[in-house]
Amino acid sequence: MMSETEAYENIEAHTTEDVDANDLLEATYETEEIKDANVECEEDGLNNESILGKVFDTTDDAYNFYNDYAFVHGFGIRIHTTCKNKGTNEPYRKTLVCDKEGFKREDGNTSIGNEKKRRREVRIGCKAMFRISKKKDGKWFVDLFDDTHNHELSMTPTKVMKHRSHAKFHRTMECKSLMVELNQVGLKPSQIKKAINAMKTSNEVDVTSKQCVDVLSEQRKHNKGREFYGLIKHLQDKALVDNDRYYVVDLCSDGCPRNIFWADGRSRDDFTKFGDVVVFDVTYMTNKFKMPFAPFTGVNHHGQSVLFGGALLENEKEETFVWLFEHFLKLQYDKAVASRRAVEEDEDFKTMNSRPVLSSRHPIEAKAGECYTRKVGKRSIGLEEMNNGNGFSAYTLWCVCSNFNKVIEQAKDSPSEIENVNNVLIKLLQDQAIRKKPLPVENVSQGSCVRISQVDMLPQLFVRDPLAPTNMKGRPKIASRIKSSLEVPKKRTCSYCQELGHYATSCSKRKVDESLQEKH
């Protein structure tokens, strides 16, 4: 055992060298991990001779094998080339190399004043490679392997995990699903990176913004072919929350959408207030489906732009614009009619329930003013007539009530008459109960009642995406929109012969006339 004096001497030695104990333990632990991994690798006999000719079922198995080999030896890998058969388009050879293979591509724009900040050099021409080829039976074997590196290898797991092929945390299903959910909430890739790095454990490598962008781009590729279905579903979900939301879809016979127009409740309300000036423009165009985006915009009382509605159009033909303007006018007309109707109903209610102004302030007239409004006055018994059916006028009902009150007043001193009136009323009430009893409904059971949600009641639209190739970003050079006079190239007109297609300097007629004049 170590004595107390020796222990103090060791501590003082570490203190003078300024070595952190945690760093020392971590480095020792990582070195032991690498040694253990090297021992396992040597026990398995992984050398150049044993790797050459090794057989794999799939290319993924070969990639995972070489990636594990690279992790043990302290470098990263990437896919360099993939050779495919021209006839069947199936791969028959794949080459994996070290991530430091090759050199950085030099750009030609290196003129003075156009210098850019250069990143650090990562590729330094490493020759390490791992090539697999396909056999006739469909399996893959290693036909070329070179383990020669011209750079220092990473000797700790922390440094090895910084290589892209070993940073697998952002590729896990938990991390991917969390990235997608945060993106749907509205966070940017930089904010998603900070949130995930704050929640991960210390054993995992930090996630970068580029990795977040790659995961989100891969997720969007899974939605290919379902963009318009997602758009219709989004509009239906918003319609459940916003009752004033309006949208209409124009479909072809094969289910391909031609035109889509939508406007939410806020846009419709803004149009009623700031609809004096409406700007309509179709300059914008979607990159993928070549559908012009046509927004209706205006200006509010703060000088800010407001959106009155938007549309995706198939083309810029006359019938397309006619369809769009018809639905836009129908949308705003219905809103104006509903608003006007609400105002008129409020005015009618106030008129019908207002108190009449009487000539004097006598208490009985004040009481009459509270009880008899114009609405009650319309049911005056003196102005109603007998209906054509089985109904009676208010005057007849008033006479019946008057006669009933007289009978009760006159029968107060005769118990027998009161009993007879009571028996007659009881029999009449029983007859009325039988007459007004609701009819039974057949084949109706409590278990057969099914509740239908509002989403199920909505009209389900079966649409598919337009069959159009994907274009690059930006507006295509050859567009179908109507160009302005400033964009249309001017036609050349000759000032000598007044013909199109050339100027006076190259006019052949002018040259002929000048040559004739020189001869004379």
DSSP string, 363-403: HHHHHHHHH--HHHHTT-TTT----SSS---HHHHHHHHHH
CA-CA-CA-CA torsion sign (153, 159, 162, 165): positive
The residue among 128, 140, 52, 55 whose CA lies nearest residue 93 is 140
Q: What is the mean pLDDT of residues 122-129?
A: 86
User: Do residues 98 and 80 touch, judged by C-beta distance below 8 A?
Assistant: no
Interhelix angle for 59-73 vs 21-44, to 10°? 130
pLDDT of residue 508: 86
- Residue 16, pLDDT score: 38
Q: What's residue 444's pLDDT?
A: 38
Structure-model confidence comparison of residues 176 and 389, the more confident one: 176
Judged against a pLDDT cut of 60, whether residue 109 lies above it is answered with no
Quick: pLDDT tens for 418-428: 888 888 888 88
Tell me the residue type at 97. V
Q: Average of pLDDT values for 238-256?
A: 82
- Give the residue, 343 or 55, on which the prediction is more confident: 55
Structural contact between residues 323 and 333, judged by C-beta atoms closer than 8 angstroms: no
According to the 3-state scheme, what is the secondary structure of 243-258? CCCEEEEEECCCCCEE
Highest mean pLDDT among 119-133, 216-230, 359-373, 483-497: 119-133
Q: pTM score, two decimals? A: 0.37
What pLDDT does residue 368 have?
67
User: What is the structure's pLDDT at 219?
Assistant: 74
Q: What are phi and psi of 432, to 5 degrees?
A: -65, -35
- Side-chain half-sphere exposure of 415, counting CA atoms within 13 A: 0
**356 closest CA partner among 378, 388, 333, 335:** 378
Q: What is the dihedral of CA 470, 476, 478, 483, to 10 degrees?
A: 140
Q: Are 390 and 396 in contact (CB under 8 A)?
A: no
Q: What percent of the chain has pLDDT over 90?
A: 5
- The Cα–Cα gap between 66 and 129 comes to 10
Residue 132 banded pLDDT, cuts 50, 70, 90: very high
pLDDT digits (tens, 9 = 90+) for 352-406: 666 555 555 566 666 666 666 666 655 544 444 444 444 455 667 777 888 888 8
411-to-91, 403, 405, 419, 428 alpha-carbon distances in Å: 111, 12, 10, 10, 19
pLDDT at 359: 56
pLDDT band with cut points at 50, 70 and 90 for residue 133: very high
Between the alpha carbon of residue 487 and those of residues 279, 405, 479, 484, the distances in Å are 21, 93, 12, 5
Residue 91 has pLDDT above 80, yes or no: yes
Which has more confidence, 45 or 483?
483
Among 46-55, 300-309, 448-457, the range of highest mean pLDDT: 300-309
User: pLDDT tens digits for 56-73?
Assistant: 999 889 988 988 888 888
Give the least confident one: 106-115, 158-167, 169-178, 192-201. Answer: 106-115
Residue 401 in tokens: 């009530």
> What is the Cα–Cα distance from 505 to 89, expressed in whole angstroms?
58
Q: What is the mean pLDDT of the chain?
A: 73
The strand order across the sheet containing 129-134 reads 55-56, 140-146, 129-134, 91-98, 77-84
pLDDT (mean) for 476-500 = 73
User: Residue 148's pLDDT is what?
Assistant: 87
pLDDT at 336 over 80: no
In sequence order, the 6+-apart residues with CB closer than 8 A to the CB of 288 are 227, 468, 470, 471
